[in-house]
Every structure is written in structure tokens, then in C-alpha cells.
Amino acid sequence: QVPLVESGGGLVQAGGSLTLTCAASGRTFENYAMGWFRQAPGKAREYVGAITWSSNIIHYVRSVKGRFVISRDNAKNTVYLQMNSLKPEDTAVYYCAAGDYYSDDVEFEVRYWGQGTQVTVSS
């Protein structure tokens, strides 16, 4: 079991930037790929992107590619989501997740969820 604690959410103007942090505790962080998901009010939770343990593969959905950057620091048991050029449609609760990533079919199997952090982008 890998407890995940997220931080960094808040209110930002359109065009601005925000960086989310997801910190894991325990001794098994290095065994998992990490993913980011988001859920807007009244909508289903959607996949945003993922990063493998060694960071050799980093994947993003087309809607955020070129604007968002996922990175991780295994020595600190931490993963980041840097969000740039934010748009009002990016407003959502953002969740980090630990799991298994399969690059052949771009599948992320979630094993543990973070609690979520609210990101609000004003126009």
C-alpha cells in the first residue's frame, strides 16, 4: 500500500501556471508508475498522463500535450504535474495515482488514488 498526499491546487487566471505535487510514503514507491487524472463537476474522471518509474516513458493526452509536464523524483518519493497556459476548461479536481503503465496500448492500471486537489482557472 502506498499512501498518496497531494498539494498545490488553487485559483489561477487563464494563461497562468500551477504545479501540483504528489508525495508517497512507504517503501514501494519505486515499484509503480505514476499517473494524473482529473474530474470536472458533473463529468467523469479522465486520464491526463503518466510517467514510468525510470521516466523513460512520459505520456499525455492530446488536450494537455505541450502545456503540461509530468516529472518525478524517486529519491523524494514525489511526482509533479506542471501546468502551463491554463484554460478555464482545465478546471477540475486533480488526482494522482500509483499503478502499472503499459505503453503498447497506453493503459494505466490504477492501484492507489490520492485524495485529489482542486484547480480552478478563471477567465
Amino acid 3: pLDDT:
85
Mean pLDDT estimate for the chain: 93
What's the helix, strand, coil split of the chain in %, to 5? 5, 55, 40
Region of residue 15 (phi > 0: left; psi between -120 and 50: alpha; otherwise: beta): left
Percentage of the chain modeled with pLDDT above 90: 83
pLDDT tens readout for residues 8-47: 999 999 999 999 999 988 665 667 899 999 999 999 999 9
CA dist 109 and 33 (Å) reads: 9
pLDDT score, position 31: 77
